[in-house]
Homo-oligomer: A and B are copies of this chain.
């Protein structure tokens, strides 16, 4: 983008198909490991990855509406609803009628929901923390830069917005 194709320069070094393929495979393997720890915990509770994602974002942005959560997760209403219903029935999530707009439902974690979210989050952070430690601060900065560039403009806007709330 800001890079004006320096011919033969180091820019080309890491853009061979082989290098790109290494990156693709690294993403595949790393993502699998990344979800493995919380997955184990979830299974003990009879939940799936979908429940984890819902808990994560409700915790992250307490009081968010169903539509907002939908946009963050990128799934359909029906798909989210099944997950949300079980979480509400099990007393992990509370759904209150919106204050300003009564059509909306605002979502909150209960004490129990918070407890599970923390356990899941801690399992995931543990792996992230040791990866960060092993790789060092400079690598971490690069890691985030590449991921942000990879997610594309639309997701980047959503991702950056969450920073400020």
Contact = CB atoms under 8 A, between A and B. Distances in A.
Interface residues of A, number: 63
Interface stretch (A62-70, A86-94, A105-113, A146-154): A146-154
A66 B141 CA distance: 39
Interface in A125-149: 125, 127-149
Q: Is the contact region of chain A dominated by helix, strand, or loop, or is it mixed?
A: helix
Contact of A31 (B1, B31, B133, B136): B31
Given A1-B134, A74-B32, A14 B140 contact: yes
A152 B20 CA distance: 21
Nearest to A146: B143
A137 B20 CA distance: 12
